Amino acid sequence: MPVLEVENLQKYFPIKKGFFQKTINHVKAVDGVSFHLNAGETLGLVGESGCGKTTVGRSILRLTEPTAGKVLYKGRDLGQMDRETLRKTRTSLQIIFQDPFSSLNPRMNVGEIIAEPMKNFQILSKTETRRKVEDLMTRVGLRPSQMRRYPHEFSGGQRQRIGIARALAVDPDVIICDEAVSALDVSIQAQIINLLKDLQKELNLAYLFIAHDLSVVEYISHRVAVMYLGRIVELAPDQELYKNPLHPYTKALLSAVPIPDPLANTEESIILSGDVPSPVNPPKGCTFHPRCPMAMDKCQTQPLYRQIQPDHWIACHLYP
Ligand code: SF4
């Protein structure tokens, strides 16, 4: 059984206007997203900024209440749980944010930051808590002797290590990495990604890795889902998607990834015309059709998101 299942998740943000704050429309940030995540697996979630990928992560954790859809953790629906059960279950689902500095309390030292979730959710003695903090700090490549230091005394990469240690403090099964390495220098990115990979092997963690950098996602992911305007348009195993993308949007995204030797590149970049449409009034039918070089008459109707090969899902009329 997958550790996490997301079924037809929707998140619409109301647009209110006037003295009575009447809802006049909705921003359809997430509009029917479905996928599953297995234990010990990384699913990359990619797309341009504003496509809804961060809202997917926040809706799974109920940091923002979903408008519709289901999120199942080990087969149990988070939406059907009472407050206390949800609070306890949420320890198994943790998040690492893009900006470690703003997500760490500047008035707490590192030991207190890492111990905080344990105090909220686990009954450990002072000595056990301290031992666990020391163990977590060592695991993520920090020295336990740095326990009394404050976040501003650390570099960006070290602060992200603190964020990872805090996420691990309550022994989660699933970690949502929301642009977790995007704010870091390339060499530090590699260190943090390798740390995440090592921890995954050691602890059988499942990651939902949200990012806009396709090279980073390729390196860490087992499967990759591509989002456009609040929907997944293609989902496939990592190598299959990168070597043989099928959806015209995936092809365009991948063709724009810089490669180390541009002279060896025989593929032409696909330049998409126009801007990403507004999620307030998305185009009817396939929402990609105003920009799609392959668009045809039937693209005025919405293509079904379906499996066309084992573990390869797509929403496009080109693949009947
Ligand atoms: Fe392009 Fe039509 Fe496929 Fe949409 S359904 S991606 S418009 S070919």
Ligand 1: centre distance to CA 292 (Å)? 6
192 pLDDT above the threshold of 60: yes
Separation CA 27–CA 15 (nearest Å): 7
Cβ 149 vs Cβ 109: under 8 Å: yes
CATH number at residue 196: 3.40.50.300
Q: Is residue 174 part of a domain?
A: yes
3-state secondary structure at position 316:
coil
Domain housing 282: 4-315
Q: If residue 136 lies in a helix (H) or strand (E), which one and from where to where?
A: helix 126-139
On whether residue 320 sits in a domain, the answer given is no
Distance 28 CA to ligand 1 centre (A): 20
pLDDT (tens digit, 9 = 90+) per residue, 240-284? Answer: 999 999 999 999 999 877 666 655 555 667 777 777 888 899 999
Half-sphere exposure of 230 (CA within 13 A, CB side): 24
Helical residues (DSSP H) of 224-299, grouped into ranges: 238-243, 248-255
Q: Is 292 in the pocket of ligand 1 (CB under 6 A)?
A: yes
Structure tokens at 78: 């988070």
Question: Is residue 201, in this structure, part of any structural domain at all?
Answer: yes
Amino acid 266: pLDDT: 58
In a domain, 27, yes or no: yes
Average model confidence (pLDDT) across the chain: 92
Judge whether 160 lies within some domain. yes
pLDDT (average), residues 63-78: 96
Q: For 39-69, how does the pLDDT look when each residue is reduced to its tens digit (9 = 90+)?
A: 999 999 999 888 999 999 999 999 999 999 9
Please state, in angstroms and rounded to a whole number, the distance separating the CA atoms of residues 42 and 176.
10
The minimum-distance atom of ligand 1 relative to the CA of 293 is 1
Residues 6 or more apart whose CB falls under 8 angstroms from that of 320 comprise none
Residue 87 CA from chain centroid, whole number: 21
Q: What percent of the chain has pLDDT over 90?
A: 78
Dig out the tokens for 202 from the structure: 């050691």
In tens, the pLDDT along 111-149 reads: 999 999 998 877 789 999 999 999 999 999 999 999 999
Q: For residue 183, what pLDDT is reported?
A: 83
Pocket test for ligand 1, best of 276, 284, 292 (most atoms within 8 A of CB): 292
pLDDT over 70 (residue 290): yes
Instruction: Give me 301's structure tokens.
Output: 């109707």
CB distance 199 to 169 below 8 Å: no
Number of domains in the chain: 1
Per-residue pLDDT, 203: 96
Residue 88 lies in a domain: yes
Overall pTM > 0.85: yes
Nearest to 212, CA basis, from 224, 199, 194: 224
Find out whether 280 and 28 touch, Cβ atoms under 8 Å: yes
